[in-house]
Chain A
Amino acid sequence: MRGETLSYPISSMRTGETVTVDVQQHAPAVDPTAWVDEHGDYLFRYAMMRLRDETRAEDAVQEALLAAIQSISSYSGKASERTWLTGILKHKIVDYYRRAGNEQPLNGDDGELLAEVEKFFERDDVWNGHWNNKLQPHNWDTSPEATYQESEFFEVLQNCLSKLPDRVAGVFMLREMDGLDSSEICEILSVSNANFWVMMHRARLALRRCIEVNWFRKAVKH
């Protein structure tokens, strides 16, 4: 997760050693040419979920596979091939966000989100800054069993995520999906600590609204 530069050899990140091409000795029977058929779609979906763009996802998968082939000697066979490849892909995704973080100006793209989020709160004299009656969080019927089992819920969640600005979504996903620390995320995306917390709460505000409208519709009618 914590690679320093964009072009490190993947094995040095994982084990601290440099790449030694020594396939015959420890490589368990690994056939890189079969990776695309066996894991390609899985890796692609994994990347799609986090990068939300086909070209980006394809690129990440390609980078990951190439990195994997280079560091094939470090694959011990302990983890399943898929887990190992996914781990490498994860690094590549973080790399993407690192690059994006360096390129975009801070706050470059969340003006729209701010405007949306501001609407959730009143702007009058009496109740300034309090929740708007209609847009406030309503009761969700979240009996876990019901929600877990419905894969449609995850589709809604995914759709709602895709509406967030790239960088906010990046922050939110690195935090909630991959469980990185705030300091790591700030470093990866080059955002300030204060900005990180702002992005988190805006992402949550927008997401919960989107999920409420698209999934818990019943609640909104009340």
Chain B
Amino acid sequence: MFKWGYKKVQRFFFVLILKYLPPCKDMIDIASASIDRKLTLRESIVLKLHLIPCKPCVRFIEQSKFMKQMMHEMESEEVSIPYKGTLSEEARERLKALLKSGAAGLGIVAGL
């Protein structure tokens, strides 16, 4: 009897896709670009097929989107700027002096 069954058919296609379409390493470029731009028809078909059996690549896209979101968060929220350093005392003095002389210069010109 010819017993294929859903599972076997599925497996057959998975292997087909993974073996005969470009491997993950070559798909990662398109997977990454799918976040930033509209893919060409060809690219998007190949990517969609690849993602059916390929969990890690699906995760790669999800995680890249997540990182994008977090980068955005980091930029927009002043509080979440993770770097807590401050200007060095020396730089602070230098900048103040520069601004002072700059402001004085402007004052003279503006006063004319």
Interface residues of A (CB under 8 A from B): 21-24, 31-33, 35-36, 40-42, 44-46, 48-49, 54, 58, 61-62, 65-66, 69-70, 72, 121, 127-131, 136-140, 142, 147-148, 151, 153-155, 157-158, 173, 175-179, 182, 197-198, 200-201, 204-205, 207-208, 211-212
Contact = CB atoms under 8 A, between A and B. Distances in A.
A204 B87 contact: no
A66 B80 CA distance: 27
A55 B23 CA distance: 43
Given A36-B92, A197-B32, A208 B56 contact: no
Interface centre among B74, B84, B109 (most CB of A within 10 A): B74
A62 B98 contact: yes
Contacts of B29: 197-198, 201
Given A44-B87, A49-B74, A137-B60, A129 B24 contact: yes
B106 A23 contact: yes
A173 to B, nearest CB: 7
B91 A32 contact: no
Nearest to B67: A207
B83 interface: yes
B78 A42 contact: yes
B66 A45 contact: no
Contact of A175 (B18, B36, B85): B36
B25 A121 contact: yes
Given A54-B85, A175-B36, A129 B67 contact: no
A42 B23 CA distance: 45
A210 B33 CA distance: 20
A33 B82 contact: no
A33 B96 contact: yes
A72 B106 contact: yes
A148 B73 contact: yes
B95 A177 contact: no
A208 B63 contact: yes
